[in-house]
Structure 1
Amino acid sequence: MRTTPIAVPAALAALLLLTACAGAGGDEDGDGKRESTACSVDTVSVEVGPASVAPAAGDTGEVPVVLTNQSAACTLDGFPKAALVGISDSATLNAPPAEGAKAQKLTLAKGESASFTLTYERGTPRDGAFNAEKLRVELPGDTSSSVIRAFPWTYGPVASAGQGSHKISVGAYQQAGD
């Protein structure tokens, strides 16, 4: 049996070639979007507060942290890393994820923001409260040279939860703004 070659116009051939290549090259999901790198404290501005301060022992306070991307698109994947640092810098209290919180992956274009909230219960020295001087913020996946940002902690001591833990937790990242 003999076949007759089909003439394909040059424009159609070029379109087919471009379509075949569109799914290749760094797009794991095949959705045409480029994978962005992890957000870095070198390229993201960080603002802490204003807080809803716990006024007395036993009260709950919330400290919002807002991250705004100042560079190329980047990704926040996982939970924020937040820790309180004591007077000696050797005493550190890591904030675990809030009970029931689910981490989500957010991609921030230049100028876009995300936020997370630290929730704590104010304590007293008698209950084994942790006296913090600084809040340390790190971003998941950040491998830059200055991985940590520190901010003054002026919200009072964090109550003990017993067995070496304290009443503090960190929420998941949330898209901020419009």
Structure 2
Amino acid sequence: MRAIPLTVTTLAAALLLTACNDGGGSGGKNRSASGCAVGKVSVQAGSASVAPAAGDTGEVVVSITNQSAPCTLDGFPHVEVNQPGTTVTLKPQKGAKAQTLKLAKGDSATFTVTYVRGKDGDGKNLKAESMNVVLPGSDVGQNIPWKYGPIAGKTSQGDPEASVSAFQQAGD
């Protein structure tokens, strides 16, 4: 007689656990119990290939190093570029495929922000002062100064010529 209530209880528990995951796999706002989060990982802009002149393409590498318990990066980083009065979310690079990376304590991953430098004085440019990086599974971001010049706008400041790559494992 106990088999039926035990089976129902087990099934109910499994359904509740399944409901905790929203199934999202892209962007920075998906939820995951083992997601990497700012404060448990360090996030910093590393080496950059700065676009020297208007129309040139530059790349900024962002490094993530796990400082805590194992965690998972699942999806794309959520990157917002900020100028006073304007915040623009960068889209993933065309054709990029997100992969799930598991980071043990001390492991690192990177992603790249690729941008086209805008011409000084062009009203379509995003005169970025910072970028906010939010990792998948977290709502807390790391603000990083933007010191790479204006980002060209395709049609306006809200449509920048910039994108974000997928995460890549760093190191061995």
2: distance between equivalents of 1:40 and 1:51? 23
- RMSD in angstroms over aligned alpha carbons? 1.8
SS at the partner of 1:151?
strand
TM-score normalised according to structure 1 size: 0.75
Kindly, what percent of the aligned residue pairs are identical? 52
Asked if residue 130 in structure 1 is aligned to residue 126 in structure 2, the reply is: yes
Indicate the residue corresponding to 1:48 in structure 2. Answer: 45
SS at the partner of 2:88?
strand
Q: Which segments of 5 or more consecutive residues in structure 1 lack a partner in the other structure?
A: 1-24, 29-34
Matches within 5 A, 1:1-178: 37-86=34-83, 88=84, 90-124=85-119, 125-126=121-122, 128-143=124-139, 147-162=140-155, 164-178=158-172
Residue-by-residue CA offset, 1:52-74 (whole Å, 9 max, x unaligned)? 00000000000000100000100
Q: Which moved more, 1:97-106 or 1:158-167?
A: 158-167
Q: Which segments of 5 or more consecutive residues in structure 2 lack a partner in the other structure?
A: 1-13, 19-31
2: distance between equivalents of 1:74 and 1:36? 9
Is residue 36–residue 107 contact of structure 1 (8 Å, CA) maintained in 2?
Answer: no
**Displacement over 6 Å in runs of 4+:** none
SS at the partner of 2:122?
helix
Higher Cα Rg, which structure = 1
Deviation at 1:49, TM superposition (A): 2.2
Residue-by-residue CA offset, 1:60-115 (whole Å, 9 max, x unaligned)? 000000100000100000000111110x2x31121100000001111100000000
**Count of matched residue pairs:** 141
